A and B are shown apart, each in its own frame.
Chain A
Amino acid sequence: MDGQAASLHGVQTTSGRAGAPGRTQHPSWRWIWSGVLIAALAFLVIYPTAMLLLGALTTTNPVVEGVSVADVSLGNFLTVAGNPNVLIALANSMIACGGGTLLAVAIGLAFAWVVVRTNTPCKALIASAGMLPLFVPPLVAGVAWAILGSPRTGLINLVLAKIGIPWRFDLYSMPGMIFVFGIYYAPYVYMFTAAALRNMDPSLEEAAEISGASPTRTMATVTFPLILPAIISGMLLSFVVMLGIYGIPATLGTPANIPVLTTYIFALTAWSPPLYNTAAAVAVILMIVTGLLVYAQQRVLAGRSYTTVAGKAFRPRALNLGPWRFLTLGLAIVYLLVVVVLPSLALLIAAFRRFLFIRDIPSLFDMKQYGWQHFIKMFDNPLTVTSIINSMKVGLITALVGGVLAFAIGYTTTRTRAPLKRIIDVITTIPVAIPGLVIGVAYLWAWIGLPGGLYGTLWILALAFVARFIPDTVKALSTSLMQIHKELEEAAWICGRGMLGTVFSVVLPLARPGVVAAMTLLFILAIRELGSSLFLYSSGTMVMAVQLLGYYEGGNIGITAAFSLVQMVLLGVLIGFTNLLSRGAARGVVRSG
């Protein structure tokens, strides 16, 4: 223990009440506390990841033969990695996510420029509406666009046929996936670039103008190079998120026989017999690609962020577009129409309309065609209600366990001198590089071979979600903890409170908005999580996201749309509730999947 720590705790021990657990007269207390945290993280993160790696390196079936380390060999992994089907899925993933990312950059960058740098009317409204896609579960987005753009029965194609245009959209295709990826993940690029544009000192551009540079030259030589790190960073992040998405390729790619890594991994476990080892190996490939990209993103963010010298807030230069501002407003409205209004309309029509077949335009407005029958049929299925209740339970467990663990980790790493903080920090960050689906496969490997264990319970889902979302939760909580001045705690110690007493009487009340926001966010993320749920649910532990996929694959569009709406309304209420609570405390940490 270093001297500073000793003196700090000297204050605390002399005034701390006897028996307070924070009493650290014996340094062993701190070691025990760090040990407990590391053990919890090892259980949640390290053990499943290790089992996943083991699965990728062996050929023994964990269900039939149990887990064994007998035939560990890199050869098993390389055999899978060299399989042409795997390479096709990998290539498809790269094309779909690469194309989607390019589209997302084009839209996100344009959107950021319009909102930050022009005098387009209703900018603020446009900006907040533009963030809505972040909250739509990818599966729901996929379902909505399948309803809109399936080649024969898609609503858009029906309308096109009615007005006599021979062109048809086919969303069940690679371009379809790229399109939906691109429009739904543009907000990631927008968030990064809008912030960079907003924080740029306007005199950097004015200096170029005074120097004699034309507006285009200024943009090319000053503005663009300065926001390039933000663009690259947003690009890599959206690529990583797309790579781990299951819902969109499952709804749009699978019908057209276009496997990507995520859908391929799930197909492997749905084989008969399930190819768990192959699935693990492909999951490891997905994890490696993700890890490399996340590493690249961190490097970009760390190395080339140009902070400007003056510490004052800037008012960004708003370009006066003159009459052209109505064109930019129009483009923004088109984007919102495509990404928010059209899909919502599609879901509403499909959910309430008796038959999706639309004879002509007037019949679209014929109210006799609409009713609650899909909702009634949906709730007739006992699995619907079960899945809703299960999702709520899982969400609650995730929020409580995850919230408490994240608070413990956040407090320990930001406010105490506990040993091994660095290790705790590193393990907490690992899941950033693991897509949800891979966590699902890892947890499958970790628990399927253990009889009477977690497998088949709601807890395995909740713990997988905690592991998946722990980095974001800890980050959000640390931010709100760092806003509480250290002296507020020290004052309580001087007043004779022990460390734990201080946490409960001072820190927790002050950090409450942040803690509540983080826990609500965990709840929301848990009930919409599909990727990891796929591998961990059983007939008794059906959850909403999986049940929705079941309805979609069952082919009943009406019920699928109805259930999508139920989930969207539920999420909408929860998100509104969170915003009310947090007032911006922990916004912008939604990771999708």
Chain B
Amino acid sequence: MSAELRVEHLRKVFSTGHPPVEKAAIDTVSFTVAAGEIVVLLGPSGCGKTTTLRCVAGLEHPTSGRIVIGGTAYTDPAAGVLVPPRSRNLGMVFQSYAVWPHMTVRQNVAYPLRARKTPRAEQGRAVQEALELVELAAYADRPVTQLSGGQMQRVALARAMVYHPQILLLDEPLSNLDAQLRLRLRDDLRRIIKRAGLTALYVTHDQTEAVVLGDRIGVMRDGKLLQLDTPREIYNRPADLFVAGFTGASNVIEGTVQGSQDGFAVVRARSGETLLARHGSGLHDGAAAKVALRPDNITFAPASGPNRFTARVASQHYQGTQTVYELAVLGTTIEALEVGSAARWDVGAEVTVGLPPELCWSYGA
């Protein structure tokens, strides 16, 4: 049942303000979600991820581009094709759950089947199956208003999956839940979607959610898709400074490119010291560069290896199971994180730190 989703050159333009200024909410976005794959669109609010999802659902109409599901074009303004949401056979889970408060759990989940005029006996069986999948079978005859937020969201999930849609769309489904519940449901969600074998497009602004849930992650900003890759690639080879920063590489060291060595770029920092970093595309000798690095990839007191520098501990934030240090090094201040309950370095102490070259990424400034 699950189908491949192809989004081709999708573009949506709004006119806002006085005088009207054209602004692209989605700026020529293309990607493919393979059948049975979960792709997460990740980005800050206003980056166009939800608008993209709603265009796939047919709830919003793009200015141009095509949306092809299972080989059939469902949205293609140039060809005058715009299939209404009800005829797309998609499932969708909304941020606000959108379970109907005047119905019971069973009535909510059976609704799409009744709209499809599914035979009654089959309805009962399918609803039961869907409720068992989300572990709510015992609640079938309760009014949904008596459920907790997490239970309501699972009703919404059962409702979206009960008719085996071609694609499952999820719009920040966990953002209205409290932190603990969010963690639990996050793991459940991936398991349930995978067990049903559904193709899923998932939108979130939370990068940990994206990493756990997605087979691949697409990072968006200002309507553009910056990088679409596996979580491992996104975290270890971010395509640009924004992707690096948004996924947690909060340290930026400025400098100038001064040739290369062992396949790495040599970058001279403000302090005059040089460090090795992955070569960013288009960085020629003499160009200004920014080197991004995750706080958790910094090693303390390494015995040997390249990129070792002497740093002074500027401050210490003890967090129990880990400690975050601010280090003065390379003419700037960077954050470093050491796991473990022992805070080994005191403020003012000098410590040797290692910045692994393959985890230092240089980009054009």
Chain A residues proximal to chain B, CB less than 8 Å: 201, 203-204, 206-214, 217, 221-222, 225-226, 306, 308-310
Contact = CB atoms under 8 A, between A and B. Distances in A.
28 contacts: A201-B96, A203-B95, A206-B59, A206-B85, A206-B94, A206-B98, A207-B98, A207-B99, A207-B100, A208-B100, A208-B115, A209-B85, A210-B88, A210-B90, A210-B91, A211-B115, A211-B163, A212-B86, A212-B87, A212-B89, A212-B116, A213-B111, A214-B86, A306-B101, A306-B145, A308-B96, A308-B101, A309-B97
B259 interface: no
A218 to B, nearest CB: 9
Contacts of B116: 212
B152 interface: yes
Contacts of B145: 306
Contact of B98 (A204, A217, A221, A225): A204
Interface string B152-178: 100010011001000000000000100
A87 B97 CA distance: 52
Contacts of B91: 210
B115 A213 contact: yes
Nearest to A221: B111
B306 interface: no
B149 interface: yes
A503 B111 CA distance: 56
A217 B84 CA distance: 14
Given A212-B112, A221-B111, A207 B89 contact: no
Given A210-B57, A210-B90, A308-B96, A226 B101 contact: yes
Contact of B115 (A201, A203, A206, A217): A217
Contacts of B111: 208, 211, 213, 221
Interface in B116-160: 116, 145, 149, 152, 156, 159-160
A213 B57 CA distance: 14
Contacts of A225: 102
Interface of B: 57, 59, 84-92, 94-102, 111-112, 115-116, 145, 149, 152, 156, 159-160, 163, 176
A203 B85 contact: no
Contact of B176 (A209, A211, A306, A309): A309
Nearest to A307: B101
**Chain A contact residues: over half helix, strand or loop, or mixed?**
helix
Contacts of B160: 210
A310 B59 contact: no
B98 A201 contact: yes
Given A210-B85, A210-B91, A211-B111, A222 B100 contact: yes
A211 B159 contact: yes
A207 B92 CA distance: 7
B102 A226 contact: yes
B102 A310 contact: no
Given A209-B86, A226-B102, A310 B96 contact: yes
Given A225-B102, A226-B101, A309-B176, A207 B149 contact: no
A547 B239 CA distance: 83
Contacts of B156: 207
A306 B57 contact: no
Contacts of B159: 207, 211
Contacts of A213: 86, 111-112, 115
Nearest to A212: B115
A214 B98 CA distance: 17
A309 B149 contact: yes
A207 B57 CA distance: 10
A173 to B, nearest CB: 40
